[in-house]
Amino acid sequence: MVFLLSLLCAWLYARYITRPIVRLSKISKQMAELDFSGQCSTGREDELGCLAQNLNSLSASLSTALNDLQTANQQLKTDIEKEQELERQRVDFFSAASHELKTPLTILKGHLAGMLNGVSGYENHIEYMERSLAVVDRMEQLVKELLYVSKAVGTQKTEYETVDFAEILRVQVAAVADLLEEKKQYLEANIPTHLYCVVEQSQMERAIQNILVNAIRYSPSGELIRIALSETHGTIRGEIENTGVRVPDDAIPHLFEAFYRADISRNRNTGGTGLGLYIVHKIMKMHHAKYGISNTSNGVRFWFELPCRQPIDNSI
């Protein structure tokens, strides 16, 4: 009986000792497989209980470190993809710019070679010199646009200030009055007396000018240009619509891309560089503005939204 009682006590004591060790071994194996969901029982006060507490602390630390590492890796992956996309856009931009410059250079070279070599048809030097000058003017305009884009996407300091946006719009409308008269188009403007917002004034003036010029150039003679500016619930909304024209629905998402042409021949005839709306896109994005282009029942409408801000009254 003493012998059997000794065996029973030995079995119970061995089970008391080995059971937590088996549990600790199982938890450590899960940790080796990067599974930190298991927890060791910490009810004991001896060395095994201390080891269990240490394993739990190690599991929590490793889990936190692994989550932080995964978050950092995901952020790094996102940053790399974004940088690759920017690099692709830069390559596409400069490739398109090179192509745009190559075409007028080829025309100019042909005119000069024809006049210098006395090729038949180039006897009237004055006529071809005038054509060459027009080509040079177009190249100059394109280069200016490229320089402006380079400046707009650069790291130069931008100064934002509270300005009267309604006045900016009125000034730009007055600046294109001659172009409206030349195209024999009509203007319908609904602009309030004052509407204030925080913008970089010179950049926003350029964006509004590009939108107005684009609307006038691509509308036929005798059509209507509608301009509306309003404020609702602290948001300024501007709309510029040109009638008598329509953009294919599949072309609308690409209109803000550099050198994109929904109609190549029409763009050539109007003398556009293909960078007008691309510059508008960059400026609006710089101001965190909402904007877009959509077809209407009788034309095309460009719209944008900016936060409204009341001017600071410094009077005493």
Q: What is the pLDDT of residues 133-153, one digit of tens each?
A: 877 887 777 777 777 776 665
Among the ranges given (3-12, 113-122, 179-188, 254-263), the one the predictor scored with the smallest mean pLDDT: 254-263
Q: Which residue has the tokens 């029973």?
A: 8
Strands 290-295 and 224-232: unpaired
Check residues 48 and 78 and name the one with the higher pLDDT.
Answer: 78
- In angstroms, the Cα distances linking 297 to 147, 172, 217, 223 are 37, 26, 19, 14
CA distance 275 to 280: 9
**What confidence tens digit (pLDDT) does each residue in 257-282 have?**
877 766 544 444 555 667 788 888 88
